[in-house]
Amino acid sequence: MYSREDVELALEGLAEGMSVREVSEMVGCRGSTVRDWAAGRLPRSCTGAPPRGRMAPLPGEGGEGAVTDDERAAYEAAMTENQLLRAVLDDLKGEGCAPRSISNRRKAEFGERLRRETGLPLREITAFLRISKSSYEYQRARLGEDRDAALRGPVREAFEEGRGCYGYRRVNALLRLRGTRVSEKRVRRVMREEGLVAA
């Protein structure tokens, strides 16, 4: 019913000081469900979740003796995921959006920031962000790129030709007369970014 990521995100939110109501709205569940998770009653659908009513012991606890290599690897993977979840939670608090609605471009921006801050390999970051390596590389190559750089000069010239009285429709019409075919939305966006407002 709820994914492991939802449960971990909710628990991280509570640990960071968010209220049960804020966490339930962020994850999309009821407040009583979040309180159950906080008390250790995790859903069985979570991979590796402990049985109801008990928290899983840390590796090496409980008198079992030495930690095996498999347990150590699982523990390190969980700690890496915890670190990534904390970073995502901090990012989401600042941006104010739902985790599932992050675009591939924002995932690439966030992934690059994580690579600089944590030094984790790209394989782990793309797996955590649920983006393919090819999509990640495609978006990463375009992070610093201005798609409208070639359009800014002609738009400014057309606007100044009309002595600051032309709106985006008229500027677009002038561009079309000069052989530059571009959508009105791009012209409107460039004019807004350049601060060109019709008098």
DSSP assignment of 143-189 equals: TT--TTHHHHHHHHHHHHHTTT---HHHHHHHHHHTT----HHHHHH
Residue 131, SS3?
coil
Amino acid at residue number 73:
A
Residues 141-166 pLDDT 10s: 888 777 788 888 898 988 988 888 88
Q: What is the DSSP string of 78-96?
A: HHHHHHHHHHHHHHHHHH-
The pLDDT tens digits of the residues spanning 9-43 come to: 888 888 878 888 888 888 888 888 888 877 777 77
CATH tag, 1-58: 1.10.10
CA distance 95 to 132: 23
The predicted structure's pLDDT at residue 48: 52
**Rounded mean pLDDT of 118-140?**
85
Kindly list the domain boundaries of the chain, sorted by start residue.
1-58, 68-145, 149-194
pTM for this prediction:
0.37
**Residue whose C-alpha is closest to residue 35's, from 48, 21, 46, 45:** 21
Terminal Cα distance for the chain, rounded: 55
